């Protein structure tokens, strides 16, 4: 899967949008930069399937070396699927952050949410500024 | 308490970490566990919503076991010495802590860079400042370096103070003890390697949008509810003067973080919010047993 197909939130979540059942389906995860910056991920809490989220809502939590952080949904919609395997295989975040390390899939209700997200190039610039 | 900066002095330079130059400073009386956690969450909300930074020192009304956010409630049954303690779940990560003969700090502040993810440097600032403040009372303690930290021990033990991570403050006083299997043969008699020197201060964090809550616990003395953990009294042979420690620690922190400390109390609205959070969240079975 190509990173070029993704959009990114400033809070380091990624989104891949596909067509499904006549609507838009967003697959979400956290970026490779975030995985590296957080270091040593130890716990993940997934959202519940069926939950309605708005763009910017916390929809999951992750612990890394004693720091608990929220994971924010970059889009609005209904959580239709979660990666149940992930909490017990956190190494997938490192091994395949944009593939097997996906967190949840959301049936989008507002495509306008995508306009607020960053292209891969713009996200790379954001990460470069943070690394300075 | 630290002497507030006089009004004619120039404002401190803003910390590159924080979006604040002024910080409320609270020294609270001992409270019940659910109230202590509720106040800390209220401070995080104030940091996130209003950009208010707060440094707080407090103790606990009764010996209390605090579970890390992701720990399961049932794990507490495996630690027999603390079975009679009150228990509360934190919003921060890490292992369980027996809050008895210890001093807790919390710090909530708006972040300068909201998309920055790793704030371990804030832990380092607090831990180095604590080490310096303790040194002023003759207690030798310092943060673990990375090469002193065996990764396998991280996150394994139930108690926070039985875990070892880079930056945790450990006693630097030579600790008498027998060599254990695996200790370096070159180790002088009567000393143990750094990773087995008693941990005295550990901290944990919670991020919420543009703000961070960090709190930590400093072991002043061994507790009957955690007899496996020596504190500063046992490791340094000294009684720590807690008010003086708070004053020194705060003064050093204020300088490092570029903050002007202002003595304060919680506002009425914050008190009401904390009271409600204590009752509806931190004292609830749903929160305590959520895992």
Low-confidence ranges of chain B (pLDDT < 50): 1-11, 178-179
Q: Which CATH number characterizes residue A49's domain?
A: 2.40.50.100
Side-chain-side CA neighbours of A109 within 13 Å: the count stands at: 11
How many whole angstroms separate alpha carbon B220 and alpha carbon B201?
A: 10
Residue A125 is assigned to a structural domain of this protein: no
Residue A10 is assigned to a structural domain of this protein: yes
In a mutational test of the A interface, the residue from B40, B92, B93 whose CB has the highest number of chain A CBs within 10 Å is B93
Enclosing domain of residue A24? 3-113
User: pLDDT at position B1, please?
Assistant: 47
Across the interface, do B70 and A67 touch by the CB < 8 Å criterion?
no
User: pLDDT at position B233, please?
Assistant: 96
**Residue reference for tokens 């009764």:** B62
Across the interface, do A66 and B117 touch by the CB < 8 Å criterion?
no
Across the interface, do A65 and B207 touch by the CB < 8 Å criterion?
no
Q: For residue A117, what are its two tokens? A: 């997200």
Residue A69 is assigned to a structural domain of this protein: yes
ipTM of the complex as predicted: 0.87
Contact A31, A13 (CB under 8 A): yes
Tell me the chain A residues in contact with residue B204 when contact means C-beta distances shorter than 8 Å. 66-68
Using beta carbons and an 8 Å cutoff, which residues of A are at the interface with B? Answer: 10-12, 34, 37-40, 42-43, 45, 61, 63-70, 126, 130
Residue A39 is assigned to a structural domain of this protein: yes
Closest chain B residue by Cα to residue A33: B117
Sign of the C-alpha dihedral computed for residues A75, A78, A81 and A87 taken in this order = positive
How many whole angstroms separate alpha carbon B203 and alpha carbon B182?
A: 28
Strands (E) in A39-126, as ranges, are 41-45, 52-53, 58-64, 67-72, 77-82, 104-108
Across the interface, do B117 and A63 touch by the CB < 8 Å criterion?
no
CA angle B109, B110, B111 (to 5 degrees): 115
How many whole angstroms separate alpha carbon B226 and alpha carbon B100?
A: 9
**What residues pair up with B216 in beta bridges, in sequence order?**
B105, B203
Residue A131 is assigned to a structural domain of this protein: no
How many whole angstroms separate alpha carbon B128 and alpha carbon B145?
A: 12
User: pLDDT at position B154, please?
Assistant: 54
Across the interface, do A67 and B119 touch by the CB < 8 Å criterion?
yes
Residue A81 is assigned to a structural domain of this protein: yes
Residue A122 is assigned to a structural domain of this protein: no
Across the interface, do A68 and B92 touch by the CB < 8 Å criterion?
yes
Superfamily (CATH H level) for B22-175+191-285: Bira Bifunctional Protein; Domain 2 (3.30.930.10)
Domain spans of chain B? Answer: 22-175+191-285
User: pLDDT at position B78, please?
Assistant: 92
Print pLDDT tens along chain A (132 aa).
688 899 999 999 999 999 988 899 999 999 999 999 998 899 999 999 999 999 999 999 999 877 999 999 999 999 999 999 999 999 999 999 999 999 999 999 999 999 999 999 999 999 988 776
Closest chain A residue by Cα to residue B96: A66
Number of domains composing chain A: 1
Residue A31 is assigned to a structural domain of this protein: yes
């Amino acid at each position: 899967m190509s990173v070029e197909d993704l959009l990114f939130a400033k809070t380091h979540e990624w989104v891949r949008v596909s067509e499904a059942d006549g609507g838009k389906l967003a697959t979400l995860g956290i970026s490779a930069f975030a995985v590296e910056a957080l270091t040593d991920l130890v716990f993940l809490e997934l959202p519940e399937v069926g939950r309605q989220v708005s763009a910017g809502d916390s929809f999951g939590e992750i612990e890394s070396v004693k720091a608990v952080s929220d994971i924010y949904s970059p889009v609005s919609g209904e959580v239709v699927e979660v990666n149940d395997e992930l909490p017990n295989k956190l190494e997938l975040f490192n091994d395949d952050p944009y593939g097997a390390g996906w967190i949840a899939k959301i049936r989008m209700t507002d495509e306008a949410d995508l306009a607020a997200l960053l292209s891969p190039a713009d996200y790379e610039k954001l990460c470069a500024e943070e690394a300075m | 308490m630290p002497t507030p900066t006089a009004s004619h002095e120039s404002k401190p330079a803003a910390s590159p970490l924080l979006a604040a130059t002024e910080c409320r400073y609270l020294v609270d009386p001992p409270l019940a566990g659910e109230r202590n956690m509720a106040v800390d969450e209220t401070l995080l909300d104030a940091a996130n919503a209003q950009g208010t930074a707060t440094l707080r020192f407090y103790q606990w009304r009764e010996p209390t076991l605090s579970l890390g956010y992701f720990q399961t409630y049932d794990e507490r049954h495996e630690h027999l010495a603390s079975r009679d303690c009150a228990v509360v779940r934190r919003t921060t990560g890490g292992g369980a802590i027996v809050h008895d003969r210890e001093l807790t700090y919390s710090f909530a502040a708006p972040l300068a860079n909201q998309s920055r993810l790793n704030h371990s440097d804030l832990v380092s600032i607090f831990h180095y400042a604590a080490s310096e403040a303790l040194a002023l009372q003759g207690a030798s303690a310092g943060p673990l370096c990375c090469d002193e930290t065996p990764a396998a021990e991280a996150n394994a033990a139930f108690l926070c103070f039985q875990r070892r991570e880079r930056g945790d403050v450990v006693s630097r006083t030579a600790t008498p003890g027998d060599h254990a299997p695996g200790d370096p043969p070159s180790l002088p008699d009567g000393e143990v390697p750094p990773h087995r020197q008693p941990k005295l201060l550990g901290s944990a964090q919670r991020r919420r949008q543009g703000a961070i809550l960090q709190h930590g616990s400093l072991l002043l003395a061994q507790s009957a509810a955690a007899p496996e953990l020596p504190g500063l009294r046992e490791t340094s042979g000294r009684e720590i003067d807690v008010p003086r420690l708070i004053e020194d620690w705060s003064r050093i922190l204020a300088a490092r973080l570029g903050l002007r400390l202002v003595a304060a109390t919680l506002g009425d609205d914050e008190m009401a919010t904390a009271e409600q959070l204590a009752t509806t969240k931190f004292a609830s079975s749903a929160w305590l047993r959520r895992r």
